[in-house]
């Protein structure tokens, strides 16, 4: 008995297209989540005399690596606000104000929704 399966090359091409679309969609979802998180962090950041701490909140996409998820970091630019850790964790003279941690904790649902929303697109189209 012989079995011949046709269309395997076409199926492989289509599967590779889906993988590429998913990778792009995940990148868009991660970037969208990071930008939304920046807004949340900024709204919770204490406003000091210069406003540098609030202005320092930014995103930084990391280079893509095969086998690793897409990553876009949200943080404070140390060249603008090198004192962020002192506000977050406190000092001998000032109590901690963990605005960054609270912001990230409150943004978890938004982050998941943004990534999931973008990732579902390529699957729905197929």
**Dihedrals phi, psi of 58, to nearest 5 degrees:** -155, 175
Q: How confident is the model at residue 50 (pLDDT cuts 50, 70, 90)?
A: very high
According to the model, what pLDDT value does residue 77 have? 97
Q: What is the pTM of this model?
A: 0.81
Position 20 scores a pLDDT of 87
Six-digit token string for 71: 């990553």
Kindly state the average pLDDT of the residues 55-84: 94
How far is it, in rounded angstroms, from Cα 119 to Cα 71?
15
CB 46, CB 87: distance < 8 Å: yes
**pLDDT tens-digit series, residues 77-107:** 999 999 999 999 999 999 999 999 999 999 9
Strand partners, 76: 57
Confidence band (pLDDT; 50, 70, 90) for 18? confident
């Amino acid at each position: 008995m012989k079995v011949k399966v046709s269309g395997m090359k076409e199926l492989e091409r289509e599967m590779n297209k889906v993988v590429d679309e998913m990778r792009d969609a995940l990148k868009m979802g991660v970037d969208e989540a990071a930008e939304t998180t920046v807004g949340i962090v900024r709204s919770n950041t204490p406003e000091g005399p210069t406003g540098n701490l609030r202005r320092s909140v930014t995103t930084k996409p990391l280079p893509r690596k095969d086998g690793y998820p897409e990553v876009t970091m949200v943080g404070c630019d140390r060249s603008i606000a090198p004192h962020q850790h002192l506000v977050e964790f406190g000092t001998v003279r000032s109590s901690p104000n963990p605005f960054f941690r609270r912001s990230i904790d409150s943004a978890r649902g938004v982050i998941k929704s943004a990534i999931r929303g973008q990732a579902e697109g390529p699957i729905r189209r197929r």
